[in-house]
Each structure stands twice: as structure tokens, then as C-alpha cells.
Structure 1
Amino acid sequence: MSERATPARRLVSPGRPVPVSTYRLQLGPDLTFDDVAAQVPYYASLGVSHLYLSPVLRAAPGSTHGYDVVAHDEVSPVLGGLDGLHRLAGTAHDAGLGLVLDIVPNHMAVPTPVWHNRPLWSVLAEGPDSPYASWFDVDWSGGEGALLIPVLGDRIGTVLARGELTLEQEDVLGDGTRAVLRYHEHVFPVRTGTESLPLAELLERQHYRLAYWRVADEELNYRRFFDVDTLVAVRVEDPAVFDATHALVLQLLRDGTIDGLRIDHPDGLADPAGYLERLREATDGAWVVVEKILAGDEQVPGDWWTAGTTGYDALWRVQQTFVDPGGAALLGSVMHRLAGDTSDAFPGIVARAKSEVVEGTLYAEVHRLTELAAGICHDDVRLRDHTWRALHECLVGLLVELDRYRAYVVPGTAPHPEAVEALQSAAARARRRLSGERAETMDVVVDLLLGREAGSAGRTRDPRRDELVVRFQQTCGAVQAKGVEDTAYYRWTQLTALCEVGGEPERFALTPTDLAAWASRAQVVAPLAMTTLSTHDTKRGEDTRARLGVLSELPHEWSALVDALHRTSAPFRSALVDGRAENLLWQTLAGTWTAQGPIEADRLVDYLVKAVREAKSHTSWASPDEAYEQAVVSLARHALEDPTVVELFTGWELRTRPAVRAATLGTKLVQLTLPGVADVYQGTEVPAVTLVDPDNRRKVDTEDLAARLDRLDNGAVPRTLTDEKLLVTSRALRVRRDVTEAFTGPEAGFVPLAHSSGHSLTYARTVAGEARVVVVATRLGAAVERLDGWADHTVALPEGTWHDVLTDREVPGGVQPVGPLLDRLPVALLVAGAV
């Protein structure tokens, strides 16, 4: 146990429940509350302490994920309503399980038809006079007093000429008919008193402006979620809005239906720290974790009241500990041969992608920032000569160069030194790309963004300056997410497994010492944060990434394989297919080709189309290039059918099977036993080679899993990797449940253990300094195989007698040879005491 104390903001209030482990469930029409309740016996047998539910509030019609909320005061009837949620809670509680809920404070849906979102419908009907006008982040001065609604398939004049907009009478809310505007499936309210006007004049008089959908990137006057026009931001910084949007969720906490919360994207809020402090008070100190992307060694801000993150910081570290650093150069060479990208090109790719985003899909947000800065400068004689263009270039430069989701500055509060350093470093990098004439303007912009005195003596604050500080930070997250994770990560193909949400592809690989150092610190600073390997947002499932990681262990073999694939595919590979897409295809096949063969063609094609559109190099969602996309799709389909390609990948799968086994089981065991609350994403208790959503949200055959687990519990020997991963997952979860004090208790600790091989990863989980659980995992199984086994390598186990719960045998303490310990499985999970 560390002598350092865990910060109070990272702990829950005394008596509040803390999950030991969670099982993430993606609810929807195919997985309702009653469906989950029927599967509770399996989840309980697996060993989790809590079921972790995706958002349950009423969502937009047809929602497949629940993040497009339309009503905060109603549990989704599609899922079973409030009664169904209570039934599930009762069944779970009877089985000893609790519930954790994912909530979305940052935004609501702009649904079709919009009346499904009653607060937004009210704002469209009544404008600033609506009782809900304060709910949404709308700049009423930015759109001539009208909220921009970019839903039209063509420019407004053309739509009118075609007669596609009609005035009709409908009863949309069940309180009598009223005049509405209809555009195909879209329905909008008509402002009272304008019903009899000619259609063109009627449109001019509304509290909203119907516009061509492409207008949103240039003139949008409401804050949206990243660049998604159908998600409108909610102003939970307003106490009244917070209370209204959280009343039902808080009631579910008070009555014990749920035990804790996962907060979706708090970086998008105006004041994340203030929001989390208010939530802490409202929940009486319940367990709350946040979806927070940390850049490199960045930490969760010290003034946030949260147990920690949802686990992306653990995800990439675990994964990259199982990547061989020796493979970096050769995989970089393969990328260069195919795509032309050099191994040091990643920063430039990121900068270009972020530049494209700020000048493209996020132009409206950046324009709004520039207008704020220009207005501040125009009204201050000492700043008046800093032009709109100069301010725009400096703001763009900062957004491109800032290396994190947010620099946390609160108006009226002295900024933290880390925030100052982040902004000043970004400014220094941006200056290198700007003319010398912009240097003084950059100084002014940085001072304004840090809330410092700029211009007239003593002036640091006014409403516009405060708004600039807040909106800049909100825009940073959108630029980082859309520019890096949703663009650059689809362009960088050295090892695609590293291009993950919250990932650090430039680091390539970590050592066991790196992981142990991070875990030791996490045990102190955030012992109740989450760890994970897969989420509903990951770009590849954990098992796909584990298979891809093996490329780094066998880089020479992979390089030769890619050369053979390139030659073999030449007759059916169109000249339109670029090297990045080709490299992505071969790696995707390597990551999803199992002993049963390749991934289904439709799944592969759907993924590739999404990937190349996200990359935005030759096609995009906004401007699809059908010829290019068809060329990529044709290559993929031909590859799956070509006998030589099939033979090559079948041989690769067989050659890498032992290394894949070690990586699959090792990453899972380590993730489940590191400091924090361990999460299992639905279906990942067995190998699941999945890709980005919606592929990773497919239905899980829980009946088969339950039957398989029952066989293992009744003494069946695991004979496949599926059996082995289920064994490792269930036993690790049960150990967490049975020895809780070693994992989430106040005296829990993490201690690395001495070992003689860099290919083993070993540590103990302790209680008050006494080892209670020991983990031993094979790292880089291909290297162990190449060295003909473990030879005389050893691991120093704590003294005493240990029981390996994976192989059901006793192991003595002290210095022990690794070979006999890992002769049946590439991992071991030891619990103190003989059984």
C-alpha cells in the first residue's frame, strides 16, 4: 500500500457502492431490459459485480445506441420503460449485481421529425420566448434571430421551386392540430400568426431558418456535438437546466435502482469541473467516471470530482505492452513501400488532418471564435489593429497545434500551470507556420484565451472574453476528435491497431516497466477509475487488435506476406486504390482472419467504406467518390475469393496462432487485474474479431456463452481459444469478487514482481502490503517460441503456497521457473493459500 493518499475527489462518499467489475451492455430493440434480466444468471456466474448500461432515456426514433436523447424525463419505451428498468434492477439485485448507467449531459438529438424533442420543438415554435430557450447553446444574433436548421437536400430557392415545402395541419403532440411545415419526413412548427402568409414570407418569419445541409459547415449558429448537425448542445452549466435534465437519473440513484454513472464526453461542456462538482453534490458522492481522452501522460484535472476515466488510458498502455518495439522499423518500411508515408510522418499527417477539419466541417465553430475575438479587439482601441484574418489564422494555428482535448481555463480563475504550458507550447509550434507579422496577434490571442489582461489596462473579463475562453476549449475537443481520431487515425497504417480512441500511435510499444510505473501511479491517484480493452466506440475490438499486434512480433514474415499479397492482387487491384487503403485492407484481414476463415464479406466491405470515408483522402461522407469506393470494395471482395490470397492468410493465421493466443489471453488477464474497476464489453469474454461500430454492436449469443461456461465450471478442459478466454475472464472476475479488498478496497495495492525475462509480465495485488493475488503473463509469444521456450527464466513469487485458478494446481512461492508455470496456458492467475 502506498504511503501517498488518494485525492478525495477520486473517492466516493462513505457507504456509497463501488463496482468491482462491470459488464457493458449495448441496449436496443434487440436487447431490452427484460432481455438483460433473463440473462442475469449468466452475468452473475461470470463474476461481474455490476451491469453497465448504455443510455436508457428516450432516444430519437430508430436509435441504435441511445446517445441521441430526446427526453430526459422518460425511460425509453423501446427498452421497456421505467417499469422494465425497475424489473431489471430487482432481478439483478436478487442475484447480487448492481447497475451502472451511462448518461449524456452534453447534447440532445435533433430528431426527425423534430417534435420528438419537445423542448427543441418549443424553441423552434417560440424562439427566445420559449421556456426552453436557455436549454440550448444558440447564438440568436448569429442567424438574424433564427436558429439554423440545415436539413434541405438543395438550396432553399430550388426546394421552394420544386414545391417540396408544404404547409399542413397536423396533431403532432396530441394536443390538437396546428399548422406545420413539412419537408418530406421533416416536420416543423409554424410561428403563431404567420400561418396565412405566402410561403416564402412565412419562412422568413420563423424562429428557425431551413437551409441546405452543406450550409451547416459555414453558418451554423448553435453548438453541436463535434460536427454532428443532428446533435444540439445542452447548457447544463445553467442550474435550472441541470436540474431538469438530471431529475430522473438522480431519482434512480436515490432509490437504489442504479449505483453509479458514466458521463459521456464532459470535455464538451462549458464548465466540466463545475458540472462534476454539482453532480457530486446531487448524487451524495456516488461513483462517477468520465469519458475522458488523456493525451500522453496528461492526468484528469485535479479539480474534477470523479473516480477517473472510463479506461482509454489503460487500454492503449496494456495493448502496447504486448507490441514488440523491434517491429516498428519493418512495419514502417511496409507502410512506406505501399503508401509512401515515412515512419516519422505521423505528426505531419495529424497537422494536415486537423487543418482540413478546422477549415472544413468545423469552419462554423472556428468562424464564431474569430468573430468573438475580432469583436473584442475592435472595441478596444489598443487591440483594434489586430485584423479578423490575423486572429483567424492564429486561432486556427492554436487549434491545429494543441495536443489535447482541452486546456482547462475557467474565466475569472487563474489558469493551472499545465494549461498555460499547453497553450504556450501550441502557440510556439503554430508561430513556425505563420508569418512573423502574426507574432503580436498570437500573443494577444493566447492572453485572451488564458483570461489575462489584454488591451486596455486592467481589463481581463467581460461576457465576450469569457465566452471566447469557454468556446475555444469546447472547439479544441471537436478538432482533436474529428481531426485525429476520425481522420488521421484512418490515414496512418504503420500498425493500425495503435490508431485507437485515446491511443498513442507514436509511442508504438511500451515495456513492462512502463506499464508497471503507470499502474503504480494509478493505484494511488485513481484507484476506482475504469480499465477496459473494448468499448462501443473503439475502432477495433480487443481481439482484432491483439492479432494485429502480432505483426510487430513477426515483421519480416509480415513484410514478405504483404509483398506476396501485393503481387497476387495486381490483376484485380484497380489503379484507383491507394497504398493506404491497400495496407489497411491487408491488416484488417490479418486482424479478423481466424481458424474459421475470414470475416464475412459484407462486414469487411462496410468497414472499408466507412474507413476510407473517415480518412477523407479520396472520398468522404459529404462527397462520396463512388468510383474510388467501388475500386476498394472490388479489391476486398476479390481478395476474399482469390485462392492464393486465401492460402496466404490461412498460412499466416496458422503460423501466428500461438502468438495470438498469448496476446489474447495476456492482454485480457492484465486488463482485468490492473488497478481500477475492470470492464468487460459485451461478448469480449470470448474472442470477438470486431471492427468499428456498428460492427462491434452485434448481438451476443449469451445462451451459448452460458452453456460453455457451465461446461468449464463442471470440469471440462478448455480445448479452444474461445474456451480459454472465457476461462481466464471468468476466473479473473471471480477472483476480483472473492478478493475484493485486493482490487478496489482502501488497502489495495499493486507491486511489480522480479523476473528474468522481458517476455514475462508479473505483478501482485496486495492488501495492506501483503500479496494476495499474483499475475504472470507471456509477453510477445512469438519471441518466446523463436527462443525455443522459457529455458531457465524465472519469476520471484511471494513466499507461501499459491493456487493457480486457471489450471487448478498448487504453486510454491519463491523463485520459480516460468516454463512449468506456463506449460498449459500462456498466463497464470495465482491466489494466496492452498485449495
Structure 2
Amino acid sequence: MTPTATYRLQLQPDFPFAAAADAVPYLAEIGVSHLHLSPVLEAVPGSGHGYDVVDHHTVRSEFGGEEGLRSLARTAHAHGLGLILDIVPNHMAAAPRHNHPLWEVLREGPSSPYARWFDIDWAAGGGKVLLPVLAGRAGEKSTRFETGARDDGTLVLRHGDLEFPLREGTAGLPLPELLAAQHYRLAWWRLARTELNYRRFFTISDLIAVRVEHPEVFAGTHGKILELVRDGVVDGLRIDHPDGLADPGAYLGRLSEATDGRWTVVEKILTGPEVLPADWAVAGTTGYDALHRIDGLFTDPVGAADLLDRYRDFAGPPGDRGGYWTATVRRAAYRVVTHELAAETEWLTRLATEVCAGDPALHDHAPWALHTAVRELLVRVPVYRPYVTAGGPLTEIAEAALPAEAVRDAKAVFSVPQEAEAVDVVRDLALGRRGDGPAHSAFCARFAQTASALHAKSVEDTAFYRYVPLISATEVGGDPGRPAVSPEEFHAFCARIARDWPATGTVLTTHDTKRSGDVRARIALLSECPERWSSLVAQLTGVVSVPAPDPQLAWQSWQSAYGCAALPAGELADRLEPALLKSVREAGLFTSWTEPDPVYERAVSGFVAAGPGSDTGEARAMLTGFAKALTPFVRANVLGAALVHLTMPGIPDLYQGTEREFIALVDPDNRRPFARPSGGDDEKAALTTAALRLRRERPEVFGDSGTYAPLAASGPAAAHCLAFSRSGEVVTAVTRLSLRLEEEGGWRGTGLALPDDGPWTDLLSPGREFSGGSVTVAELFADRPVALLIRSGAVPVR
């Protein structure tokens, strides 16, 4: 059954299946149709997220095991709720002690029946798997190696808390010979950057990629999930990171067949106008494309441009601290491809060189030229990856991933035109041309997988933290260079979704968003008052006793503090400091995760404690006063975004706690255990419950057979009213850019045309009814800046 709305619960040892079951009555009451659970299979002990799977055959014991999950399902079903599971096909934890398939590969080497599970370049490692797990060079730490035995008598090699299998017949060797005799090489963690010879998740060496393109690997990694589906425990799936797979389309087709077409969405980030491949056997995405459109509605394009100029003036000089978005992305991509993904680039170069060596027409392409071509094309892929397999059909979507201008610009790097032809060779290989041998096929898949990792790391995890004029725009799936979305663009997006992917997911907040939807709604308001904001930052800079170590940090710190101004006293510093330290490490301008600068980081902590994170003092009073003055306009953004999300085409997914005001920064701040709200009125909660119950009671209005139609406002403030109808039976109307609206003089007689004479009742104010084919917007929004209308006499919402 297609959900009407899902609710994401982030499971963790402190919030197991039993706790989720306790929440079921409340979630059924607010109106969702399905629980959406984070990964449930056995993971590294203590894991707070579950994406580091170690055993695909076992439901996680720390959550209550399989019986705990089945009990949760029974409770959910008894209350009319289904279960959606988040599954992780791309990778497992590279933790040999817990990961049995990996343990066997390390023990038996390439002859292990599990060797095909993992994407390992044995030749590059001299027949060994590089394990970059040591704190220092192996020679410096050799005295810490020792052999021992497990409780069952199995002989193992130990290094501190780490444990590794011993190759048969090597246990009695002297230590140097014993280390050399294994099918793996234990190494300093810093060697992963250049020497790693297994595919991983992005740049995280602790997560080793899995080759689910092989039928036996698919069967071995999906057996338990498919059993739970067949038994009726699980009703749908969310697929984590399909871009990491060799052939996402084929995988999704196999999965759909195995699950008999259960509702499935993929965590696929669509860049700009990119669309989901039409032949993917899914209901759609998890919804970041919708998030970008919703946020953009409440961002003023003129004010955002003004804010960018003021940011440049404040943060200058030019470059990552004040430059243009596209330039920031390109610099970040070069940094990542030459540094964090150096091993992946070398792997692609080896494959390309192998292809050229086997083709007389390509013999004279030098490895350095191929390496340069690989690098220059990778940094110019405008989307996450091409979708093509070697020898398969070349689609328009695949060609758009390596457009002609990318080839032209990549060639311009070469000084000799003949050497620049290496770019054509690499592009052809990446698009599945130039033959169909093993190296050709491997290059095609690996290029796509590396492009995905590069795009994610350079944009989401680097550029988003370097380019901060308006940090509400630096969200996954967004375009900080063009953060605003016009009503016309939004309506066109919704019409396409309603036509092509009516059951796709939509979101405002997830476990991965850098800021919750409510925080972004507050910060987006700064695009409506850029001059007031820049003036405030200048004043704050003058009153804080501890200066910021750089102006870019100051700008984003104050925006973050303003976005979290609703937090109770005493919480802000504890939550703001870790988020900002993560930000500067990800940006990599002054410090990083792998090359930390403790002096700079201490300066960050000192500034946050004295200024943005302080609960007292002149700066806090100034920021609080600024935030209080904007409260009515924040209300319009928060309620407007929530109502649009809940009633637009697609299946809304609510992240735990977001039915009410939810203030959260980047993980792990946003992954705190769920707590059922108790007491107190909350306007957003009332709106959410009304919309969710309406969706549940009227699925024909919002589902596959429903329709979407924009509604036009008319009058001097028409641009500030966004409205649409669903199947002619429900009308959503919200106020956008409300601060600008007030400055312009209010609604001034602006009217909204309704689908017909009605009468219409506002579900958010049940005593208010409207008749006639149109209504004045000022009257419609007399009680609140949003309205949810249904035909009077329609099925009551319970």
C-alpha cells in the first residue's frame, strides 16, 4: 500500500524497538500511515546511526533483535500503521571482528567465496588488501602486535583493540614474517588517501563497498530484508545511496521484483533540472528535490543577491570566503579529487591505461595524460554521476553528465592538442563506449561511482561549508548560487511530480540535513532584510570581547545562532560549538579532520563561547531583540513551509519531532533520541495533525489519481500568495516573503480565485467558512498566514 505520510524514527541503543512501539499510539493519532525506521540490521556495536552494517542476516540485537522488530510491526499494524525500512546496499563496516564476510576475505584472500562481495583491486595491492587502521607507521608500532586466541580457540592477530584473522599456517611465524604472510597489509591510516585498494563509501575507509550487482551478493545481503517483506513485517523500503552502486537501475529492478513492487524510494540527489531515470523501478526519491523547491519559495531573490554582496564585503578577500558559488565548487572539487580521492583517481587511471594497452589505436596515450583527463572530467561532471553500463544504450541523461562543454574545458588544460585527445578516450570509457572487456566495464562503473563520491564530498561536505552568505540555502539538493525558487518554478515542479512520480517522497528535515527545516525557515528570512542583518553583524562584531578567527566564521556563526534563537537558555553553546567546529573542519580552509589546527579550533571555541553561543551579555541581547522583531515573519515561513510540504504532490516524510517546532543543527545534534511531546499548545503541531489526518481520510485527493492545479492570486501583492488545489477538493494557500509584504503595505485588496463557489471551510480554523469563487487574501489570512480549505460537507477529518 502506498503511504499517505511517513514518520522517520532514528533508532539507536537508547531508542530501541520497544521505545518505538511506545510511540506508535501517538503517531497514529497525529495521522501518519507508516513508520519509517532507520537501518535495523546488525551494525557496529554502539552505532548511533546503523549505516555501518556488519551482518545482513541478523536484526540488530541492541534494538531488541528480530522478535523486537516483529513485535513493533504487530503494534504498528494494530494501530493501522505500516513499516518502511531504510536499507544500505552500498557498503558495510570495514570492521573485521564483526563483519564475517570481510573476515573470511582477509583470512583466505582472493580465493575466499566472499571475495566477490567487495570491490578490491588485488593487483594494485600486490595481492593484499590495504587496511589503513593504525595510528602511526607500522614499523613504529610493531611492538604492539601480538597473536592470541579467541574463546573458541581461533588464532588471531591483535593490535590494541583491533583483531584480524591469520592466514592458515602462519600462526607460528616470527612477527615480521607473519605480517608479511597475510592477505592484508596493516598500515598507517594516512595511507588511505593514496594507497587504498578497496572501494569505500565516499572517503570513509571504515565503510567498505559491497558489489550487489552480483546475484549471489544481492541474495546474501538482502535475504533477511526480503523475508521480512514476505512475512508482512515490512511494507516498503528507503534505499540509501544508490549512486554508489555499479548499476543502480538493474539493482532497483531486481529489488522491485523480489519485493513484488513494494513502495520504494531512493536517496537520490537531483541536481538542478536533473530528473530521475524514468526506467528506475521506484516510486521516486526521498525528497531533497522537494526540499529545495519549498525552501526556495521563502527566499527573496533580490535580497539574497544583496546579502551576497554584503557577505563579500564583510568576509573578503575574494576566494572561498567571498567568491562565487561555481568557483567555490570547482576549487573544492579539485581539492577532493587530488587529495581525499587520490587513490580512486589512480585506480581509474590504471584501468584506462589497461584499456589503451590492449587497443593498438590507443597505445600512445600516456598514463599521465589519462590521469589528467580523468581528473579534469571528474571535476566537471555537473550532476552526481552518469547512469550507463559498458555496452549499454547511451541515454540523454547519461550524455548530460559529460556534456560537450565539459570535454572542451578539460581539453583546454593540455598544452598539446594531440595529448588532449586523452579526454575523448576517458569520456568514451565513462559512457560505456570503446569496447566491452573487463577493464572497459570496470572503468565505466568506477568512473560513475567516483563521480558520485566526488560530487557529494566537494559540494555537500566542502563547498556548502565554504560558501555561507545565506546558510539556509546550503542544504543537500540545493543551489546556493541561485537559492530562490519562483512560484512559477514551484508549480511546474509540482505538476511534473504529480504526472511522473506521484508517490515520490518529500521532506523538509532528515537525519542528514545540516539544519532543520525550522532553522532554515528562520535564516531564509534574512534574504528579506539583508541591510538589517549586515548592520547587526557589524554591531555584534564590535561588542564581542573575543574576536572571530576569520570573518567567514563570524558571519555563519551569527546566522546559526539566530536560526537557533528559540533554544532554551543553556542549550545554545553546547549545540552550536560542535556544529561550527564540524563546519570549519569540513570546509578545510584553516583546519580539517585529517590535518587539524588546534590553535585555530581553540579560537573558534573561544569566539563561540563569548559571542554567538553566549546566553548573556550585550551581544545576546542584540541578537535576541533582532530575532523577536522578526517573530511574525518567521511564523509565516515555518507554517507556510510545513503546509506546502504536507499537501504538495508526493508522500511527505516527517522527521522525528518536526511536527512541532524543531530546532536542530547538523548531526549528531539532529539525531538525539526521539521524545514524545507532552503538553503545551503548538500551532505547527495543530497544522500538521490537520493536514496528515486529511491525507489519511482523503487518499483519492492526494494520491496517484489526484490532480494538482496552481491557483492565481490577483492584485498588488499577488506574488506574496502561493496557492494550489488538490483534485479540486482541497486548497492550500500560504504567505511568502511576508516581511517584504509588510514593507510594501500589506495585501491591499489582493484576491485569490478558488476552484468554484464552494462553500469552503478552513481546517485550521473550523469556524471560518468562505463562499464565492474568490476571497480576499487579507480575510483568508486573518487568523494565521496560511489556510487549508476543504469543501464544506466533505468527509469529516478525524
Give yes or no for contact 2:567–2:663 (8 Å, CA) kept in 1.
no
Q: Does 1:727 align with 2:686?
A: yes
Select 1:130's aligned residue among 112, 131, 146.
Answer: 112
Deviation of 1:596 after TM superposition, in Å, equals: 4.6
Q: Does 1:443 align with 2:424?
A: yes
Distance 2:690 2:562 in 1: 29
Distance 1:557 1:19 in 2: 44
Q: Secondary structure at the match of 2:401?
A: helix
Distance 1:410 1:612 in 2: 38
- 1:357-376 counterparts in 2 under 5 A? 357-376=336-355
- 1:685-696 counterparts in 2 under 5 A? 685-696=659-670
Deviation of 1:420 after TM superposition, in Å, equals: 1.8
Give yes or no for contact 2:240–2:267 (8 Å, CA) kept in 1.
yes
Give yes or no for contact 2:299–2:527 (8 Å, CA) kept in 1.
yes
What is the aligned partner in structure 2 of residue 427 from structure 1? 407
Q: Does 1:386 align with 2:347?
A: no
What is the aligned partner in structure 2 of residue 547 from structure 1? 522
What is the aligned partner in structure 2 of residue 630 from structure 1? 602
Give yes or no for contact 2:15–2:674 (8 Å, CA) kept in 1.
no
Q: Does 1:139 align with 2:96?
A: no
Distance 1:327 1:596 in 2: 30
AA of the residue aligned to 1:354: A
- Structure 2 unmatched ranges of 5 or more: none
Give yes or no for contact 2:711–2:724 (8 Å, CA) kept in 1.
yes
Give yes or no for contact 1:399–1:476 (8 Å, CA) kept in 2.
yes
Deviations 1:257-299 (A, max 9, x none): 1110000011100110110110111111111110001110101
**1:47–1:813 distance in 2 versus 1, CA, 3 Å:** farther
What is the aligned partner in structure 2 of residue 712 from structure 1? none
Distance 2:412 2:30 in 1: 55
What is the aligned partner in structure 1 of residue 702 from structure 2? 743
Q: Secondary structure at the match of 1:323?
A: coil
Distance 1:435 1:823 in 2: 67
Give yes or no for contact 1:593–1:599 (8 Å, CA) kept in 2.
no
Give yes or no for contact 2:325–2:467 (8 Å, CA) kept in 1.
yes
Q: Secondary structure at the match of 1:70?
A: strand
- 1:305-384 counterparts in 2 under 5 A? 305-340=281-316, 341=318, 345-384=324-363
Moved more, 374-383 or 55-64: 374-383
Select 2:627's aligned residue among 643, 649, 653.
Answer: 653
Q: Does 1:49 align with 2:29?
A: no
Select 1:613's aligned residue among 575, 585, 591.
Answer: 585
TM-score (norm 1): 0.92
Q: Does 1:814 align with 2:787?
A: no
Give yes or no for contact 1:100–1:260 (8 Å, CA) kept in 2.
yes
Q: Secondary structure at the match of 1:257?
A: coil
The CA RMSD over aligned residues, in Å, is 1.4
- 1:443-592 counterparts in 2 under 5 A? 443-453=424-434, 460-569=435-544, 571-573=545-547, 577-592=549-564
- 1:77-226 counterparts in 2 under 5 A? 77-111=61-95, 114-160=96-142, 163-171=143-151, 176-226=152-202
AA of the residue aligned to 1:728: L
Distance 2:323 2:755 in 1: 43
What is the aligned partner in structure 2 of residue 7 from structure 1? none
Moved more, 637-646 or 821-830: 637-646
Deviation of 1:418 after TM superposition, in Å, equals: 2.9
Give yes or no for contact 1:107–1:233 (8 Å, CA) kept in 2.
yes
Distance 1:414 1:671 in 2: 37
Moved more, 522-531 or 378-387: 378-387
Distance 2:564 2:370 in 1: 47
Select 2:722's aligned residue among 739, 761, 779.
Answer: 761
TM-score (norm 2): 0.96
AA of the residue aligned to 2:628: L
Deviation of 1:703 after TM superposition, in Å, equals: 4.3
Q: Does 1:805 align with 2:784?
A: no
Give yes or no for contact 1:595–1:653 (8 Å, CA) kept in 2.
no
Q: Secondary structure at the match of 2:654?
A: strand
Deviation of 1:38 after TM superposition, in Å, equals: 1.1
Q: Secondary structure at the match of 1:188?
A: strand
Q: Secondary structure at the match of 2:379?
A: helix
Q: Secondary structure at the match of 2:63?
A: coil
Give yes or no for contact 1:589–1:598 (8 Å, CA) kept in 2.
no
Q: Secondary structure at the match of 1:506?
A: coil
Distance 2:414 2:537 in 1: 41
Deviation of 1:439 after TM superposition, in Å, equals: 2.3
Deviations 1:150-170 (A, max 9, x none): 00111111111xx11111122
Q: Does 1:823 align with 2:797?
A: no
Deviation of 1:139 after TM superposition, in Å, equals: 1.4
Q: Secondary structure at the match of 2:155?
A: strand
What is the aligned partner in structure 2 of residue 457 from structure 1? none
AA of the residue aligned to 2:702: F
Counting matched residue pairs gives 782
Distance 2:111 2:154 in 1: 19
Q: Secondary structure at the match of 2:403?
A: helix
Distance 2:674 2:445 in 1: 42
Give yes or no for contact 2:103–2:165 (8 Å, CA) kept in 1.
yes
What is the aligned partner in structure 2 of residue 13 from structure 1? none
Q: Does 1:682 align with 2:656?
A: yes
What is the aligned partner in structure 2 of residue 713 from structure 1? none
Distance 2:285 2:347 in 1: 31
Deviation of 1:436 after TM superposition, in Å, equals: 4.3
Q: Does 1:70 align with 2:31?
A: no
Moved more, 131-140 or 362-371: 131-140
Deviations 1:385-438 (A, max 9, x none): 211111111110011111111111211112112322331332223234443434
**1:334–1:791 distance in 2 versus 1, CA, 3 Å:** same
Q: Secondary structure at the match of 1:798?
A: coil
What is the aligned partner in structure 2 of residue 241 from structure 1? 217
Distance 1:595 1:232 in 2: 38
Give yes or no for contact 1:29–1:79 (8 Å, CA) kept in 2.
yes
Deviation of 1:595 after TM superposition, in Å, equals: 7.5
Distance 2:515 2:623 in 1: 19
Distance 2:431 2:115 in 1: 29
Give yes or no for contact 1:289–1:310 (8 Å, CA) kept in 2.
yes
Deviation of 1:797 after TM superposition, in Å, equals: 1.0
**1:224–1:823 distance in 2 versus 1, CA, 3 Å:** same
Distance 1:579 1:117 in 2: 45
**1:209–1:763 distance in 2 versus 1, CA, 3 Å:** same
Q: Secondary structure at the match of 1:168?
A: strand
Deviation of 1:120 after TM superposition, in Å, equals: 0.9
Select 2:396's aligned residue among 417, 436, 459.
Answer: 417
- Sequence identity percentage: 48
What is the aligned partner in structure 2 of residue 783 from structure 1? 740
AA of the residue aligned to 1:523: A
Deviation of 1:344 after TM superposition, in Å, equals: 6.0
Deviation of 1:27 after TM superposition, in Å, equals: 0.3
Deviation of 1:538 after TM superposition, in Å, equals: 0.6
Give yes or no for contact 1:338–1:582 (8 Å, CA) kept in 2.
no
- Structure 1 unmatched ranges of 5 or more: 1-16, 454-459, 709-717
Deviation of 1:816 after TM superposition, in Å, equals: 0.5
